[in-house]
Amino acid sequence: YAMLLSLIFLIVLVAAIVGFVFRHEIKTSFESNLELALKDYNVTADPHSEAVDTIQRTLHCCGVQNYSDWERTEYFSQRGIPRSCCKNQNDCSEQDLKDPNKAQLKVFVNGCFFLVTSTMESKMSVVAGISFGIACFQLIGIILSCCLSRYITNNQYEMV
């Protein structure tokens, strides 16, 4: 049991170290994937498009760096900025969304990349605290299982 807990502890420790070391690569990868999702955005039931809409609605943001990122997409030339960027869904017409100057007043102007990464970084302290607590319990379990193993071994030796 102690070996199993030690193995799990080491796996979690290595995963945390790798995540910390490669955090900049993770950000870069997320940014490029978000740009790709904007480029391939459409209104069908595409999971990437739904993810972009969910991020924009939830975090009140639009585009990668700002709302003007949509101007470089094929979707913008057909329909303008997506409705998921609108501050007020009732006050957002398709004509407003096709004109970047009018859209600036109707949509969220901040980009999603900064908001997503800052939200993740702000929650990292909570994740680190929970992980540290779990690691402490694992270490206590390892120590207690070793003590139990030693106790069982000593008692069997005395009985013989």
Condensed to tens digits (0 to 9), the pLDDT of residues 14-48 reads 888 887 788 788 888 889 998 988 888 886 667 88
Residue 39 included in any domain: no
- Number of domains composing the chain: 1
Q: Which residues contact 5 (CB under 8 A, 6 or more apart)?
A: 138, 141, 142, 145
Instruction: Report the pLDDT value the prediction gives residue 44, as an integer from 0 to 100.
Output: 64
Query: Is residue 71 domain-resident?
Result: yes
**Considering only 37-46, 86-95, 111-120, which range has the smallest mean pLDDT?**
37-46
Mean pLDDT of the chain: 84
Kindly state whether residue 33 falls inside one of the protein's structural domains: no
Q: How much of the chain, in percent, has pLDDT values that exceed 70?
A: 93
Contact call for residues 64 and 111 (beta carbons, < 8 A):
yes
List the beta bridge partners of residue 86: 107
Residue 58 lies in a domain: yes
26 is a domain residue:
no
Spatial distance between the Cα atoms of 35 and 29, rounded to a whole number of angstroms: 10
Q: How far apart are CA 22 and CA 77, in angstroms?
A: 37
134 falls within a domain: yes
Residues 6+ apart with CB under 8 A from 113: 30, 31, 34, 64, 65
Q: Does a structural domain hold residue 28?
A: no
Q: Domain containing 1: what range?
A: 1-20+45-155
31 part of a folded domain: no
pLDDT at 154 over 80: no
pTM exceeds 0.75 for this model:
no
